[in-house]
């Protein structure tokens, strides 16, 4: 009898320990951007782990935890392990062959499935840098030197600069849900590049008075700033400006054009 | 004898009602996954979609082994995650 109880307890403790171990492994992978690099594998592994922990069901209004049989728990545990190892492989693999693993690319805000051309350009001595060096050789002035190094920097961060723009609904400073993943990428990029700071400029369309639109533009910039702060970017690195009814991208004749003009733009700068 | 037959019939009826509920839930889960796939949830929201499919697999497995409660719970989870995949596919928002 004692032997039976001891063996039952041993099996239970082993299964409990393995579930916690699997959960630890899952959390470890989460810190390496598992959701971005291997969402399918993580979803599957999580479903098996949650089943091992016990499924919740409402039986006549009372919550109840349902456990699976021991054989099934062994099968699910094995499957969870398989999917976790698959996820790990994907996280540390370099899909686009640009020399950077997936998790690193996500941290830097670049697309892990498209080769990062700008990084390659910045690593290799390109034509522009060669010409810059020639110019510096002819006129070795410090002012010029700093100017060109800045140009190089701006070239390196071009992708973020050119595409960093979000749009708003009419008379609203609320960030649309579809832009949140995009803002998350920007915040991750800013968190990994501590030397950079960002200037957010809010704009409006031509409807309404100038004073009201100036306030609304500032509100839009503020909304973006608040979100970036919430995501962990330090407030000292964010500057906001409200420009209001100026610098339209398109004429304000159609609703789509007005929507395009109602925006907040990001300008990434290097800190001194 | 009458009591025995009556008891057997009640048992059969309760089993059939229970099994039907699981079958209904499994059917519902399958439909939800199908809807999520048609909304391109497998591409736009792969995490939620794969979780829904895995729970559906678990529900089928557990139901086939007569663990009806676990089958029901897994099917419900499958429906929930499939719906999340659908809503993410349409809104494009994060979890």
Condensed to tens digits (0 to 9), the pLDDT of residues A160-203 reads 544 578 889 888 898 888 888 878 888 887 777 777 788 888 99
How many domains does one find in chain A?
A: 3
Query: What does residue B57 show for φ and ψ, rounded to 5 degrees?
Result: -60, -45
**A263 and A162 in a common domain:** yes
Domain range for B46: 21-90
Query: What does residue A102 show for φ and ψ, rounded to 5 degrees?
Result: -55, -50
Question: Positive or negative CA dihedral for A213, A216, A218, A220?
Answer: negative
In this structure, which long-range contacts are made by residues A125-132, counting pairs with CB atoms below 8 Å and at least 24 apart in sequence? Answer: A128/A152, A128/A155
| Cβ–Cβ below 8 Å for B55 and A76 | no
Query: What does residue A31 show for φ and ψ, rounded to 5 degrees?
Result: -70, -15
**A146 and A161 in a common domain:** no
| Cβ–Cβ below 8 Å for B70 and A180 | no
Could you tell me if residue B46 is inside a domain? yes
ipTM: 0.78
For residue A134, give Cα distances in angstroms to A141, A148, A193. Answer: 12, 12, 30
Scan for tokens 């393995």, then name that residue.
A18
Coil vs helix vs strand at A66: strand
Q: What is the pLDDT of residue B8?
A: 55
Could you tell me if residue A25 is inside a domain? yes
How many domains does one find in chain B?
A: 1
Closest CA to A43 of B89, B42, B34, B92: B42
- Taking contacts as CB-CB distances below 8 angstroms, the residues of chain A near B58 are 47-48, 51, 76
Instruction: In chain A, count H helices and then E strands.
Output: 12, 6
| Cβ–Cβ below 8 Å for B67 and A184 | no
**A166 and A87 in a common domain:** no
| Cβ–Cβ below 8 Å for A57 and B72 | yes
Instruction: In chain B, count H helices and then E strands.
Output: 4, 0
Could you tell me if residue A115 is inside a domain? no
pLDDT at B28 exceeding the cut of 90: yes
pLDDT at B78 exceeding the cut of 60: yes
**A86 and A136 in a common domain:** no
Could you tell me if residue B40 is inside a domain? yes
Could you tell me if residue B43 is inside a domain? yes
Could you tell me if residue B44 is inside a domain? yes
Q: What is the pTM of this model?
A: 0.53
- Contact of A184 with chain B, judged by CB distance below 8 Å, is answered with yes
**A129 and A81 in a common domain:** no
Question: Positive or negative CA dihedral for A103, A104, A108, A109?
Answer: negative
Could you tell me if residue B11 is inside a domain? no
Query: Which residues contact residue B71 at a Cβ distance below 8 angstroms, ignoring those fewer than 6 apart?
Result: B22, B25, B26, B59, B60, B62, B63
| Cβ–Cβ below 8 Å for B74 and A55 | yes
Could you tell me if residue A105 is inside a domain? no
Cα(A166)–Cα(A56) distance, integer angstroms: 40
Q: What is the pLDDT of residue A93?
A: 85
Q: What is the pLDDT of residue B3?
A: 63
Query: What does residue A95 show for φ and ψ, rounded to 5 degrees?
Result: -70, -40
Domain range for A134: 125-152
pLDDT mean over B53-62: 94
Residue A110 contacts residue A159 (beta carbons within 8 Å)? yes
For residue B29, give Cα distances in angstroms to A68, B82, B95. Answer: 19, 8, 20
Could you tell me if residue A259 is inside a domain? yes
A169: left (phi over 0), alpha (psi -120 to 50) or beta: beta
Residues of chain A with pLDDT under 50: 10, 14, 118-159, 161-162
Alpha-carbon distance A82 to nearest alpha carbon in chain B (angstroms): 14
**A195 and A146 in a common domain:** no
A78-97 pLDDT, tens per residue?
999 999 999 988 888 877 77
Query: Which residues contact residue A245 at a Cβ distance below 8 angstroms, ignoring those fewer than 6 apart?
Result: A204, A205, A206, A210, A213, A214
Alpha-carbon distance B69 to nearest alpha carbon in chain A (angstroms): 7
Q: What is the pLDDT of residue B54?
A: 96
Going along B1-95, which residue ranges are E strands?
A: none
- The shortest CB-CB distance from A48 to any of B47, B54, B70 is to B54
């Amino acid at each position: 009898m004692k032997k039976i109880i001891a063996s039952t307890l041993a099996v239970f403790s082993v299964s409990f320990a393995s579930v916690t171990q699997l959960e630890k492994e899952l959390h470890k992978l989460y810190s390496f951007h598992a959701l971005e690099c291997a969402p399918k594998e993580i979803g599957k592994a999580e479903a098996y782990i949650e089943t091992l922990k016990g499924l919740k069901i409402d039986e006549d209004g009372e919550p109840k935890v349902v456990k699976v049989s021991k054989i099934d728990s062994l099968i699910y545990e094995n499957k969870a392990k398989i999917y976790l190892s698959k996820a790990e492989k994907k996280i540390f693999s370099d899909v686009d062959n640009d020399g950077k693993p997936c998790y690193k690319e996500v941290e830097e805000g670049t697309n892990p499935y498209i080769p990062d051309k700008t990084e390659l350009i910045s690593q290799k001595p390109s034509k522009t840098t060669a010409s810059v060096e020639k110019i510096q050789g002819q006129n070795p002035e410090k002012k010029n030197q700093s100017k060109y190094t800045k140009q190089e920097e701006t070239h390196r961060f071009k992708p973020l600069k050119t595409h960093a723009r979000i749009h708003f609904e009419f008379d609203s400073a609320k960030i649309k849900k579809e832009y949140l993943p995009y803002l998350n990428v920007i915040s991750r990029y800013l968190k990994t590049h501590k030397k950079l700071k960002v200037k957010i400029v809010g704009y409006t369309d031509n409807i309404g008075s100038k004073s009201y639109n100036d306030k609304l533009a500032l509100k839009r910039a503020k909304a973006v700033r608040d979100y970036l702060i919430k995501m962990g970017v330090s407030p000292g690195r964010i500057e906001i400006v409200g420009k209001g009814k100026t610098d339209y991208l398109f004429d304000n004749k159609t609703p789509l054009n007005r929507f395009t003009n109602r925006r907040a733009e990001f300008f990434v700068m290097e800190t001194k | 004898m009458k009591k025995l037959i009556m008891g057997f019939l009640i048992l059969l009826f309760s089993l059939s009602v229970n099994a039907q509920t699981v079958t209904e839930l499994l059917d519902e889960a399958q439909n939800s996954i199908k809807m999520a796939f048609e909304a391109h949830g497998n591409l736009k929201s792969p995490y939620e979609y794969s979780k829904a499919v895995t729970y559906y697999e678990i529900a089928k497995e557990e139901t086939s082994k007569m663990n009806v409660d676990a089958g029901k719970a897994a099917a419900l989870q499958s429906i929930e995650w499939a719906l999340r995949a659908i809503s993410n596919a349409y809104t494009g928002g994060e979890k």
